[in-house]
Amino acid sequence: MKPQLARLLQLASPTLPVGAYCYSQGLEWAVESGAVTNEASTLAWIGDLLQWNMGRFEAPLLAQMMAACAMEDGERLAQLNARYLASRETAELRAETLQMAYSLLRLLDELSLDVVLVRQIDKPTFPTVWASIAVHWEIDVDDALSAYLWSWIENQTMAALKSVPLGQAAGQRILAAMGQQIATVAQQARAMEEVDYSNFAPGFAIACSRHETQYTRLFRS
């Protein structure tokens, strides 16, 4: 097995100590509101966000961040980081990406990884730090995109298991269905022109906003 594969699996693992399990990214409010109630509606919610939010904004931005890191272009990386941070439409989403980035930077110290470029950014976001590590470990861009999307899908599914709630078999069916879409979404993200990047997902933004005042909750977003 190539060392890059093992490192990629480490980056995509739910055991990565960044606190991703604390966040549902609005899914918990979607459950509270009745928009997500079962396996089918969970699959629709995650699938729509994969296609229209992750696939059209976060994934292509991640590819550009990796390119900037590979070229050691700190100015470009900072611009992409600022663009991603500006796209976080609620206080919870903004806090989430900054906290996870902070935790990932601490992990760099624990692993003695000398990833210099990202440390020059004032408020690094999670995908920026993640992309920097992927490039440092010489991981292929297409593989990195697929793993990043898979990690997000897995976290969303785990949140659904707790909040809908769903059984383990339902969770595996959702992962299987979403997994079939990853290669296409990653390929489209890699080929997308920057002018076409878009995170326009009003329902997602509303869910994340409403979650901030939700009375009872398990998750931080």
> Which mean pLDDT values do the consecutive 10-residue runs of the chain (221 residues) have?
86 94 96 97 97 96 98 97 97 97 94 90 97 96 97 97 96 97 96 94 93 93 95
Is residue 198 situated within a structural domain? yes
Query: Is position 93 within any domain?
Result: yes
Q: Is the pTM of this model over 0.75?
A: yes
Residue 220 lies in a domain: no
Q: What is the pLDDT of residue 114?
A: 87
Question: Could you tell me if 68 and 111 are in contact, meaning their C-beta atoms sit under 8 angstroms apart?
Answer: no
**Residue 202: is the preceding peptide bond cis (ω within 30°)?**
no
Q: What CATH number corresponds to the domain at position 124? A: 1.10.4190.10
Residue 18 lies in a domain: no
Token code pair at residue 209: 């906003």
Orientation angle between helical segments 126-136 and 3-12, nearest 10 degrees: 170
User: What letter does residue 219 receive in the DSSP assignment?
Assistant: S
Assigned token pair, 202 = 């009003």
Domain membership flag for residue 16: no
For residue 67, tell me if it sits in a domain.
yes
Domains held by the chain: number: 1
Do the domain assignments include residue 17? no
The residue range of the domain holding 98 is 3-8+24-211
Is residue 37, in this structure, part of any structural domain at all? yes
Helix (H, G, I), strand (E, B) or coil at 185: helix
